[in-house]
Structure 1
Amino acid sequence: MAKVDFCFYGELNFFLPPKRKNISFTHIFEEHPSIKDMIESFGVPHPEVSFIFVNNNTVDFSYLVQDGDRISVYPISQAETIRQTHPQPLISVAPPPLPIPKFVIDIHLGKLATSLRMLGFDTLYRNDYGDEELAYISSTEERTLLTRNRGLLMRSIVTYGYYVRSTNPQQQILEVMKRFELFKTAKPFDRCIRCNGLLESVAKESILDQIPPQVQQIDKFHRCIECSQIYWKGSHVEKMQQVVESLLNSQP
Protein backbone atom coordinates (compact mmCIF):
# COMPACT_ATOMS: atom_id res chain seq x y z
CA MET A 1 0.00 0.00 0.00
CA ALA A 2 1.19 3.53 -0.80
CA LYS A 3 -0.08 6.95 0.17
CA VAL A 4 0.03 10.50 -1.17
CA ASP A 5 -1.07 13.90 0.06
CA PHE A 6 -3.56 15.78 -2.16
CA CYS A 7 -4.84 19.34 -2.15
CA PHE A 8 -7.32 20.75 -4.67
CA TYR A 9 -7.68 24.50 -5.15
CA GLY A 10 -10.41 26.93 -6.11
CA GLU A 11 -13.58 25.68 -7.76
CA LEU A 12 -12.21 22.15 -8.08
CA ASN A 13 -13.39 21.72 -4.50
CA PHE A 14 -16.93 21.77 -5.90
CA PHE A 15 -16.45 18.15 -6.95
CA LEU A 16 -15.11 16.88 -3.62
CA PRO A 17 -17.05 15.54 -0.61
CA PRO A 18 -17.26 17.96 2.35
CA LYS A 19 -14.53 16.22 4.36
CA ARG A 20 -12.00 16.83 1.54
CA LYS A 21 -12.88 20.38 0.52
CA ASN A 22 -10.22 23.07 0.89
CA ILE A 23 -7.83 20.90 2.89
CA SER A 24 -4.83 18.67 2.32
CA PHE A 25 -5.82 15.02 2.68
CA THR A 26 -4.07 11.67 2.50
CA HIS A 27 -5.05 9.09 -0.11
CA ILE A 28 -4.02 5.42 0.08
CA PHE A 29 -3.67 3.47 -3.16
CA GLU A 30 -2.20 0.39 -4.82
CA GLU A 31 -0.03 -0.06 -7.93
CA HIS A 32 0.99 3.08 -9.88
CA PRO A 33 -2.03 4.81 -11.45
CA SER A 34 -1.66 7.80 -13.72
CA ILE A 35 -2.29 11.09 -12.01
CA LYS A 36 -5.18 11.76 -14.44
CA ASP A 37 -6.94 8.58 -13.34
CA MET A 38 -6.36 9.36 -9.69
CA ILE A 39 -7.66 12.93 -9.98
CA GLU A 40 -10.79 11.72 -11.77
CA SER A 41 -11.31 9.01 -9.15
CA PHE A 42 -12.14 11.88 -6.80
CA GLY A 43 -14.81 13.11 -9.25
CA VAL A 44 -12.78 15.98 -10.74
CA PRO A 45 -13.02 16.02 -14.59
CA HIS A 46 -9.67 16.55 -16.31
CA PRO A 47 -10.85 19.46 -18.57
CA GLU A 48 -11.31 21.54 -15.40
CA VAL A 49 -7.61 21.26 -14.45
CA SER A 50 -4.81 23.62 -15.51
CA PHE A 51 -1.72 22.76 -13.45
CA ILE A 52 -0.66 19.77 -11.37
CA PHE A 53 2.26 20.13 -8.99
CA VAL A 54 3.96 16.99 -7.66
CA ASN A 55 6.60 17.71 -5.02
CA ASN A 56 6.71 21.34 -6.24
CA ASN A 57 7.23 20.43 -9.91
CA THR A 58 4.57 20.48 -12.63
CA VAL A 59 3.66 17.23 -14.40
CA ASP A 60 1.30 16.18 -17.18
CA PHE A 61 -1.58 13.72 -17.00
CA SER A 62 0.63 10.74 -17.85
CA TYR A 63 2.67 11.00 -14.64
CA LEU A 64 2.56 7.80 -12.57
CA VAL A 65 1.82 8.55 -8.94
CA GLN A 66 4.51 7.44 -6.48
CA ASP A 67 4.39 6.65 -2.79
CA GLY A 68 4.90 9.79 -0.72
CA ASP A 69 4.05 12.30 -3.47
CA ARG A 70 2.67 15.68 -2.44
CA ILE A 71 0.17 16.73 -5.09
CA SER A 72 -1.53 20.10 -5.67
CA VAL A 73 -4.17 20.49 -8.38
CA TYR A 74 -5.26 23.88 -9.74
CA PRO A 75 -8.31 24.91 -11.82
CA ILE A 76 -8.37 26.71 -15.16
CA SER A 77 -9.38 29.95 -13.45
CA GLN A 78 -6.07 30.12 -11.55
CA ALA A 79 -3.83 29.33 -14.51
CA GLU A 80 -2.66 32.91 -15.08
CA THR A 81 -1.95 33.42 -11.39
CA ILE A 82 0.16 30.24 -11.35
CA ARG A 83 2.17 31.44 -14.36
CA GLN A 84 2.85 34.80 -12.71
CA THR A 85 3.89 33.36 -9.35
CA HIS A 86 6.00 30.45 -10.64
CA PRO A 87 8.63 31.82 -13.03
CA GLN A 88 10.24 28.43 -13.79
CA PRO A 89 9.15 26.56 -16.95
CA LEU A 90 5.75 25.01 -16.26
CA ILE A 91 3.89 22.08 -17.76
CA SER A 92 0.22 22.91 -18.28
CA VAL A 93 -2.37 20.18 -18.73
CA ALA A 94 -4.90 22.69 -20.07
CA PRO A 95 -5.19 23.22 -23.84
CA PRO A 96 -4.65 26.70 -25.31
CA PRO A 97 -7.80 28.83 -25.28
CA LEU A 98 -9.99 28.55 -28.35
CA PRO A 99 -9.62 31.66 -30.57
CA ILE A 100 -13.38 31.77 -31.07
CA PRO A 101 -15.72 30.34 -28.42
CA LYS A 102 -17.80 27.47 -29.77
CA PHE A 103 -19.96 25.12 -27.76
CA VAL A 104 -21.73 21.78 -27.88
CA ILE A 105 -24.29 21.20 -25.16
CA ASP A 106 -25.79 18.06 -23.69
CA ILE A 107 -29.50 17.26 -23.84
CA HIS A 108 -30.25 18.52 -20.33
CA LEU A 109 -29.18 22.12 -20.99
CA GLY A 110 -31.55 23.19 -23.75
CA LYS A 111 -32.36 26.59 -22.23
CA LEU A 112 -28.67 27.34 -21.90
CA ALA A 113 -28.21 26.52 -25.59
CA THR A 114 -31.02 28.91 -26.53
CA SER A 115 -29.50 31.69 -24.42
CA LEU A 116 -26.05 31.26 -25.96
CA ARG A 117 -27.49 31.32 -29.48
CA MET A 118 -29.53 34.39 -28.61
CA LEU A 119 -26.27 36.08 -27.64
CA GLY A 120 -24.69 35.09 -30.95
CA PHE A 121 -22.46 32.19 -29.89
CA ASP A 122 -21.98 29.16 -32.13
CA THR A 123 -23.78 26.47 -30.09
CA LEU A 124 -24.66 22.96 -31.20
CA TYR A 125 -27.59 21.31 -29.44
CA ARG A 126 -29.98 18.48 -30.15
CA ASN A 127 -32.27 16.68 -27.74
CA ASP A 128 -31.12 13.31 -29.07
CA TYR A 129 -27.33 13.68 -28.76
CA GLY A 130 -25.76 10.65 -27.09
CA ASP A 131 -22.73 10.94 -24.82
CA GLU A 132 -20.42 9.35 -27.36
CA GLU A 133 -21.56 11.76 -30.07
CA LEU A 134 -21.19 14.78 -27.78
CA ALA A 135 -17.64 13.79 -26.87
CA TYR A 136 -16.78 13.17 -30.54
CA ILE A 137 -18.17 16.53 -31.69
CA SER A 138 -16.33 18.34 -28.92
CA SER A 139 -13.06 16.64 -29.87
CA THR A 140 -13.20 16.83 -33.66
CA GLU A 141 -14.66 20.34 -33.93
CA GLU A 142 -12.76 21.82 -30.97
CA ARG A 143 -15.94 22.86 -29.21
CA THR A 144 -16.26 23.33 -25.48
CA LEU A 145 -18.56 20.66 -24.10
CA LEU A 146 -21.00 22.08 -21.55
CA THR A 147 -22.69 19.48 -19.38
CA ARG A 148 -23.79 18.46 -15.91
CA ASN A 149 -22.53 14.93 -16.50
CA ARG A 150 -19.13 14.44 -14.90
CA GLY A 151 -18.62 11.06 -16.52
CA LEU A 152 -19.06 12.64 -19.96
CA LEU A 153 -16.34 15.20 -19.25
CA MET A 154 -14.00 12.43 -18.09
CA ARG A 155 -13.99 10.75 -21.51
CA SER A 156 -10.41 10.75 -22.71
CA ILE A 157 -11.14 12.41 -26.07
CA VAL A 158 -12.71 15.47 -24.43
CA THR A 159 -10.18 18.31 -24.34
CA TYR A 160 -12.40 21.36 -23.91
CA GLY A 161 -15.15 21.01 -21.36
CA TYR A 162 -16.88 22.57 -18.41
CA TYR A 163 -19.25 21.24 -15.77
CA VAL A 164 -22.12 23.72 -15.35
CA ARG A 165 -22.58 24.15 -11.60
CA SER A 166 -25.96 25.87 -11.41
CA THR A 167 -29.27 24.12 -12.02
CA ASN A 168 -31.06 27.43 -12.68
CA PRO A 169 -31.14 28.35 -16.42
CA GLN A 170 -30.82 32.09 -15.70
CA GLN A 171 -27.83 31.49 -13.47
CA GLN A 172 -26.32 28.99 -15.92
CA ILE A 173 -25.93 31.54 -18.71
CA LEU A 174 -24.33 34.04 -16.35
CA GLU A 175 -22.02 31.34 -15.04
CA VAL A 176 -20.89 30.36 -18.53
CA MET A 177 -20.45 33.97 -19.65
CA LYS A 178 -18.24 34.70 -16.65
CA ARG A 179 -16.25 31.48 -16.94
CA PHE A 180 -15.45 32.05 -20.64
CA GLU A 181 -15.39 35.88 -20.54
CA LEU A 182 -18.10 36.21 -23.18
CA PHE A 183 -19.47 39.64 -22.30
CA LYS A 184 -17.37 41.57 -24.82
CA THR A 185 -17.76 39.11 -27.69
CA ALA A 186 -21.53 38.68 -27.62
CA LYS A 187 -23.40 39.48 -30.86
CA PRO A 188 -27.06 39.40 -29.83
CA PHE A 189 -29.61 38.21 -32.40
CA ASP A 190 -26.91 37.15 -34.84
CA ARG A 191 -27.98 33.48 -34.87
CA CYS A 192 -31.10 31.42 -35.21
CA ILE A 193 -32.18 30.21 -31.79
CA ARG A 194 -33.85 27.22 -33.44
CA CYS A 195 -30.95 25.74 -35.44
CA ASN A 196 -27.85 27.88 -34.70
CA GLY A 197 -27.54 29.18 -38.27
CA LEU A 198 -26.48 32.75 -38.97
CA LEU A 199 -29.15 35.34 -39.75
CA GLU A 200 -29.16 37.60 -42.79
CA SER A 201 -31.31 40.58 -43.74
CA VAL A 202 -34.07 39.78 -46.18
CA ALA A 203 -36.31 42.05 -48.25
CA LYS A 204 -39.90 42.03 -47.04
CA GLU A 205 -41.18 41.79 -50.60
CA SER A 206 -39.53 38.41 -51.04
CA ILE A 207 -41.18 36.83 -48.00
CA LEU A 208 -44.67 38.34 -47.94
CA ASP A 209 -46.22 34.94 -48.44
CA GLN A 210 -44.32 33.59 -45.42
CA ILE A 211 -45.22 36.15 -42.77
CA PRO A 212 -48.54 36.72 -41.00
CA PRO A 213 -50.63 39.72 -42.15
CA GLN A 214 -50.42 41.45 -38.76
CA VAL A 215 -46.63 41.95 -39.09
CA GLN A 216 -46.49 43.02 -42.73
CA GLN A 217 -46.27 46.66 -41.66
CA ILE A 218 -42.82 45.90 -40.17
CA ASP A 219 -39.95 46.88 -42.47
CA LYS A 220 -36.96 44.86 -41.20
CA PHE A 221 -36.81 41.09 -41.39
CA HIS A 222 -34.06 38.50 -41.02
CA ARG A 223 -33.89 34.92 -42.22
CA CYS A 224 -31.76 32.01 -41.08
CA ILE A 225 -29.41 30.90 -43.84
CA GLU A 226 -29.72 27.30 -42.66
CA CYS A 227 -33.37 26.59 -41.84
CA SER A 228 -35.03 29.69 -43.41
CA GLN A 229 -36.78 30.64 -40.16
CA ILE A 230 -37.88 34.27 -40.41
CA TYR A 231 -37.43 36.79 -37.60
CA TRP A 232 -38.83 40.26 -37.04
CA LYS A 233 -38.90 42.73 -34.20
CA GLY A 234 -42.09 42.01 -32.34
CA SER A 235 -43.04 42.02 -28.67
CA HIS A 236 -41.17 38.74 -28.14
CA VAL A 237 -37.96 40.30 -29.46
CA GLU A 238 -38.36 43.29 -27.14
CA LYS A 239 -38.58 40.90 -24.20
CA MET A 240 -35.50 39.06 -25.45
CA GLN A 241 -33.64 42.36 -25.77
CA GLN A 242 -34.42 43.13 -22.15
CA VAL A 243 -33.02 39.76 -21.16
CA VAL A 244 -29.88 40.34 -23.26
CA GLU A 245 -29.33 43.82 -21.82
CA SER A 246 -29.74 42.45 -18.30
CA LEU A 247 -27.14 39.74 -18.99
CA LEU A 248 -24.62 42.09 -20.57
CA ASN A 249 -25.04 44.58 -17.74
CA SER A 250 -24.18 41.81 -15.30
CA GLN A 251 -20.55 41.89 -16.43
CA PRO A 252 -18.28 41.72 -13.35
Structure 2
Amino acid sequence: MISANSSIESTYRGEITLIFHGGLTHFFKSKDDPLETHFQLREKTSLKHIVEALGVPHPEIGNITVNQTIINLTYHPLPGDIIHIYPWQNEKSGEEAHPPKFILDNHLGKLTVYLRLLGIDACYNHNFEDADIARIAAEQNRIVLTRDRGLLKRKVVQCGYCVRGDDPITQLTEVVQQFSLSPYLKPFSRCPRCNGLLEKVDKQTILDQLLPLTRLYYNDFSRCSQCNQIYWKGSHYDRIKPIIQRFAVINDEET
Protein backbone atom coordinates (compact mmCIF):
# COMPACT_ATOMS: atom_id res chain seq x y z
CA MET A 1 0.00 0.00 0.00
CA ILE A 2 1.36 3.45 -0.99
CA SER A 3 1.02 6.16 1.65
CA ALA A 4 -0.12 9.70 0.88
CA ASN A 5 3.30 10.97 1.94
CA SER A 6 5.04 8.69 -0.54
CA SER A 7 2.78 9.96 -3.31
CA ILE A 8 3.57 13.58 -2.45
CA GLU A 9 7.30 12.90 -2.32
CA SER A 10 7.27 11.22 -5.72
CA THR A 11 5.56 14.30 -7.18
CA TYR A 12 8.63 16.34 -6.26
CA ARG A 13 11.25 13.94 -7.61
CA GLY A 14 12.90 14.79 -10.90
CA GLU A 15 15.03 17.36 -12.67
CA ILE A 16 14.51 21.11 -12.87
CA THR A 17 16.35 23.66 -14.99
CA LEU A 18 17.65 26.85 -13.39
CA ILE A 19 18.79 29.74 -15.58
CA PHE A 20 20.72 32.48 -13.77
CA HIS A 21 21.04 35.92 -15.34
CA GLY A 22 23.31 38.95 -15.00
CA GLY A 23 25.46 39.34 -11.90
CA LEU A 24 24.23 36.06 -10.41
CA THR A 25 26.59 34.16 -12.70
CA HIS A 26 29.41 35.52 -10.50
CA PHE A 27 28.57 32.88 -7.91
CA PHE A 28 29.38 30.14 -10.39
CA LYS A 29 32.66 31.73 -11.50
CA SER A 30 31.33 31.58 -15.05
CA LYS A 31 31.50 34.02 -17.94
CA ASP A 32 28.31 32.58 -19.41
CA ASP A 33 25.28 34.88 -19.18
CA PRO A 34 22.74 33.51 -18.84
CA LEU A 35 24.04 30.39 -17.12
CA GLU A 36 21.98 27.22 -17.23
CA THR A 37 22.27 24.53 -14.59
CA HIS A 38 20.23 21.48 -13.62
CA PHE A 39 19.15 20.33 -10.20
CA GLN A 40 17.83 16.93 -9.18
CA LEU A 41 14.84 17.13 -6.85
CA ARG A 42 14.61 14.39 -4.24
CA GLU A 43 11.95 15.88 -2.00
CA LYS A 44 9.61 18.84 -1.65
CA THR A 45 11.77 21.88 -0.98
CA SER A 46 11.66 25.64 -1.46
CA LEU A 47 13.42 27.44 -4.29
CA LYS A 48 15.27 29.50 -1.64
CA HIS A 49 16.84 26.34 -0.25
CA ILE A 50 17.88 25.19 -3.72
CA VAL A 51 19.49 28.43 -4.92
CA GLU A 52 21.37 28.90 -1.64
CA ALA A 53 22.58 25.30 -1.80
CA LEU A 54 24.01 26.27 -5.20
CA GLY A 55 25.81 29.21 -3.59
CA VAL A 56 23.54 32.16 -4.45
CA PRO A 57 22.47 34.26 -1.41
CA HIS A 58 18.77 35.16 -1.40
CA PRO A 59 19.25 38.97 -1.04
CA GLU A 60 20.98 38.98 -4.44
CA ILE A 61 17.88 37.63 -6.18
CA GLY A 62 15.26 39.81 -7.86
CA ASN A 63 12.57 38.64 -10.26
CA ILE A 64 11.93 34.94 -10.78
CA THR A 65 9.77 33.23 -13.38
CA VAL A 66 8.83 29.59 -13.82
CA ASN A 67 7.35 28.57 -17.14
CA GLN A 68 6.82 32.32 -17.78
CA THR A 69 4.88 32.84 -14.53
CA ILE A 70 6.23 35.18 -11.83
CA ILE A 71 7.01 33.43 -8.53
CA ASN A 72 9.10 34.02 -5.40
CA LEU A 73 11.61 32.06 -3.35
CA THR A 74 8.93 30.26 -1.33
CA TYR A 75 7.88 28.35 -4.46
CA HIS A 76 8.31 24.55 -4.40
CA PRO A 77 9.66 23.50 -7.82
CA LEU A 78 8.20 20.58 -9.74
CA PRO A 79 10.05 18.25 -12.10
CA GLY A 80 10.34 19.77 -15.55
CA ASP A 81 10.20 23.36 -14.32
CA ILE A 82 12.32 25.88 -16.22
CA ILE A 83 13.11 28.66 -13.77
CA HIS A 84 14.68 31.99 -14.76
CA ILE A 85 16.36 33.84 -11.89
CA TYR A 86 17.36 37.50 -12.26
CA PRO A 87 19.55 39.69 -10.03
CA TRP A 88 18.08 42.22 -7.63
CA GLN A 89 17.90 45.70 -9.10
CA ASN A 90 17.36 48.99 -7.35
CA GLU A 91 14.05 50.35 -8.61
CA LYS A 92 13.75 53.33 -6.27
CA SER A 93 15.54 56.58 -6.87
CA GLY A 94 15.06 60.32 -6.56
CA GLU A 95 12.49 61.85 -4.25
CA GLU A 96 10.54 58.63 -3.70
CA ALA A 97 13.49 56.88 -2.07
CA HIS A 98 15.23 57.39 1.24
CA PRO A 99 19.04 57.47 1.24
CA PRO A 100 20.25 53.88 1.66
CA LYS A 101 21.99 52.92 4.90
CA PHE A 102 24.64 50.23 4.99
CA ILE A 103 26.43 47.98 7.43
CA LEU A 104 29.74 46.40 6.38
CA ASP A 105 31.62 43.36 7.60
CA ASN A 106 35.09 43.62 9.10
CA HIS A 107 36.85 42.89 5.80
CA LEU A 108 35.55 46.09 4.19
CA GLY A 109 37.07 48.78 6.38
CA LYS A 110 38.54 50.82 3.52
CA LEU A 111 35.29 50.69 1.57
CA THR A 112 33.53 51.97 4.69
CA VAL A 113 35.81 55.02 4.83
CA TYR A 114 35.22 55.85 1.16
CA LEU A 115 31.44 55.55 1.55
CA ARG A 116 31.53 57.90 4.52
CA LEU A 117 33.71 60.37 2.61
CA LEU A 118 30.95 60.43 -0.01
CA GLY A 119 28.39 61.17 2.69
CA ILE A 120 26.80 57.71 2.80
CA ASP A 121 25.62 56.28 6.13
CA ALA A 122 27.95 53.29 6.63
CA CYS A 123 27.98 51.40 9.94
CA TYR A 124 31.15 49.44 10.74
CA ASN A 125 32.89 47.93 13.72
CA HIS A 126 35.79 45.51 13.32
CA ASN A 127 34.58 43.65 16.43
CA PHE A 128 31.16 42.83 14.97
CA GLU A 129 30.39 39.14 14.54
CA ASP A 130 28.16 37.98 11.68
CA ALA A 131 25.23 37.66 14.09
CA ASP A 132 25.71 41.28 15.19
CA ILE A 133 25.74 42.52 11.61
CA ALA A 134 22.61 40.58 10.69
CA ARG A 135 20.76 41.79 13.80
CA ILE A 136 21.72 45.45 13.36
CA ALA A 137 20.81 45.31 9.67
CA ALA A 138 17.34 44.06 10.56
CA GLU A 139 16.83 46.49 13.45
CA GLN A 140 18.05 49.59 11.59
CA ASN A 141 16.91 48.68 8.08
CA ARG A 142 20.47 48.60 6.75
CA ILE A 143 21.82 46.92 3.64
CA VAL A 144 24.55 44.37 4.36
CA LEU A 145 27.76 44.70 2.34
CA THR A 146 30.05 41.71 2.66
CA ARG A 147 32.22 39.21 0.82
CA ASP A 148 30.87 36.39 2.97
CA ARG A 149 28.02 34.50 1.28
CA GLY A 150 27.19 32.79 4.55
CA LEU A 151 26.33 36.11 6.17
CA LEU A 152 23.96 37.00 3.32
CA LYS A 153 22.25 33.61 3.57
CA ARG A 154 21.06 34.31 7.11
CA LYS A 155 17.28 34.38 7.14
CA VAL A 156 17.09 37.70 8.98
CA VAL A 157 19.10 39.47 6.25
CA GLN A 158 16.62 40.94 3.78
CA CYS A 159 18.83 43.31 1.78
CA GLY A 160 22.48 42.74 0.97
CA TYR A 161 25.17 42.57 -1.64
CA CYS A 162 28.22 40.36 -2.03
CA VAL A 163 31.02 42.74 -3.03
CA ARG A 164 32.90 41.33 -6.02
CA GLY A 165 36.02 43.49 -6.36
CA ASP A 166 39.25 43.23 -4.37
CA ASP A 167 40.37 46.86 -4.64
CA PRO A 168 38.50 49.40 -2.42
CA ILE A 169 37.98 51.86 -5.30
CA THR A 170 36.59 49.07 -7.49
CA GLN A 171 34.34 48.06 -4.61
CA LEU A 172 33.16 51.64 -4.19
CA THR A 173 32.31 51.87 -7.89
CA GLU A 174 30.32 48.63 -7.61
CA VAL A 175 28.28 49.81 -4.65
CA VAL A 176 27.57 53.28 -6.07
CA GLN A 177 26.30 51.68 -9.28
CA GLN A 178 24.44 48.76 -7.69
CA PHE A 179 22.42 50.99 -5.37
CA SER A 180 22.15 54.08 -7.61
CA LEU A 181 23.80 56.25 -4.96
CA SER A 182 24.67 59.26 -7.12
CA PRO A 183 21.66 61.39 -6.00
CA TYR A 184 22.61 60.87 -2.34
CA LEU A 185 26.31 61.71 -2.45
CA LYS A 186 27.34 64.61 -0.21
CA PRO A 187 31.14 64.60 -0.11
CA PHE A 188 32.86 65.37 3.20
CA SER A 189 29.59 65.58 5.15
CA ARG A 190 30.33 62.58 7.41
CA CYS A 191 33.14 61.64 9.73
CA PRO A 192 35.26 58.89 8.11
CA ARG A 193 36.22 57.66 11.58
CA CYS A 194 32.81 57.17 13.22
CA ASN A 195 30.11 57.92 10.60
CA GLY A 196 28.82 60.98 12.47
CA LEU A 197 27.62 64.07 10.61
CA LEU A 198 30.05 66.98 10.29
CA GLU A 199 29.12 70.51 11.32
CA LYS A 200 30.81 73.81 10.59
CA VAL A 201 32.65 75.16 13.61
CA ASP A 202 33.99 78.65 14.31
CA LYS A 203 37.78 78.67 14.36
CA GLN A 204 37.85 80.90 17.44
CA THR A 205 36.06 78.26 19.51
CA ILE A 206 38.66 75.55 18.81
CA LEU A 207 41.93 77.50 18.80
CA ASP A 208 43.19 75.61 21.83
CA GLN A 209 42.77 72.31 19.94
CA LEU A 210 44.80 73.34 16.88
CA LEU A 211 48.52 73.06 16.26
CA PRO A 212 50.34 76.37 15.66
CA LEU A 213 50.78 75.90 11.90
CA THR A 214 47.17 74.78 11.50
CA ARG A 215 46.01 77.93 13.30
CA LEU A 216 48.20 80.01 11.01
CA TYR A 217 47.31 78.59 7.60
CA TYR A 218 43.69 77.35 7.84
CA ASN A 219 40.44 79.14 8.62
CA ASP A 220 37.61 76.75 7.71
CA PHE A 221 36.90 73.84 10.05
CA SER A 222 34.29 71.16 10.61
CA ARG A 223 33.70 69.00 13.67
CA CYS A 224 32.07 65.60 14.01
CA SER A 225 28.80 65.79 15.93
CA GLN A 226 29.52 62.41 17.54
CA CYS A 227 33.24 62.00 18.22
CA ASN A 228 34.26 65.72 18.07
CA GLN A 229 37.09 65.04 15.63
CA ILE A 230 38.08 68.28 13.87
CA TYR A 231 38.66 68.45 10.10
CA TRP A 232 40.14 71.03 7.73
CA LYS A 233 41.35 71.08 4.12
CA GLY A 234 44.95 70.09 4.64
CA SER A 235 47.23 67.78 2.69
CA HIS A 236 45.03 64.75 3.43
CA TYR A 237 42.07 66.52 1.81
CA ASP A 238 44.15 67.20 -1.30
CA ARG A 239 45.05 63.49 -1.58
CA ILE A 240 41.48 62.29 -1.14
CA LYS A 241 39.77 64.89 -3.33
CA PRO A 242 40.70 63.37 -6.74
CA ILE A 243 39.23 60.02 -5.67
CA ILE A 244 35.97 61.57 -4.49
CA GLN A 245 35.69 63.62 -7.68
CA ARG A 246 35.38 60.39 -9.66
CA PHE A 247 31.96 59.95 -8.10
CA ALA A 248 30.65 63.38 -7.12
CA VAL A 249 31.06 67.10 -7.71
CA ILE A 250 32.81 68.86 -4.83
CA ASN A 251 31.79 72.40 -3.98
CA ASP A 252 34.80 73.73 -2.08
CA GLU A 253 32.77 76.66 -0.79
CA GLU A 254 30.42 74.29 1.05
CA THR A 255 32.80 71.59 2.27
**Aligned-partner Cα distance in 2 for 1:146–1:78:** 15
Paired position in structure 1 for 2:243: 243
How far did residue 236 of structure 1 move?
A: 0.8
Which residue number corresponds to residue 233 of structure 1?
Answer: 233
After alignment, is 103-112 or 217-226 more displaced? 217-226
> Larger deviation: 127-136 or 239-248?
239-248
Q: CA deviation at 1:79?
A: 7.2
Cα distance between partner residues in 2 of 1:78 and 1:225: 31
- Relative to 1, partners in 2 of residues 1:193 and 1:13: Cα closer, same or farther, differing over 3 Å? same
CA gap of 1:98–1:106, structure 2 versus 1, over 3 A, is farther
Q: Retained in 2: the 8 A contact 1:220–1:232?
A: yes
Structure 1 residues 151-183: Cα deviation after superposition (integer angstroms, max 9, x where no partner): 100111111100100011111111111111112
Distance in 1 (CA, whole Å) between partners of 2:130 and 2:72 is: 26
Residue 182 of structure 2 aligns to a residue whose secondary structure is: coil
Task: Report the Cα offset of residue 98 of structure 1.
Answer: 5.7
Kindly tell me the number of residue pairs found equivalent between the two proteins. 233
Unaligned runs of 5+ in 2: 1-12, 250-255
- Structure index of larger Rg: 2
Compute the RMSD of aligned alpha carbons. 1.9
Q: 2:56 aligns with which of 17, 20, 44?
A: 44
TM-fit CA distance, 1:21: 6.0
- 2:70 is the alignment partner of 1:70: no
Give the letter for the 2:114 counterpart: S
**What is aligned with 2:150?**
151
Q: Tell whether the 8 Å contact from 2:63 to 2:85 is kept in structure 1 after alignment.
A: yes
CA distance in 1, matches of 2:247, 2:204: 35
Deviates more, 1:146-155 or 1:199-208: 199-208
After the TM superposition, which residues 153-172 of structure 1 pair with which residues of structure 2 at under 5 Å, given as runs?
A: 153-172=152-171
**How far does residue 15 in structure 1 lie from its aligned partner after superposition?**
0.5
The DSSP-based 3-state class of the residue aligned with 1:184 is: helix
Q: How does 1:4-153 map to 2 (within 5 A)?
A: 4-18=16-30, 22-77=34-89, 99-153=98-152
Identity %: 40
Distance 1:27-1:79 versus aligned 2 partners, 3 A rule? farther
Distance 1:79 1:39 in 2: 23
Distance 2:30 2:221 in 1: 53
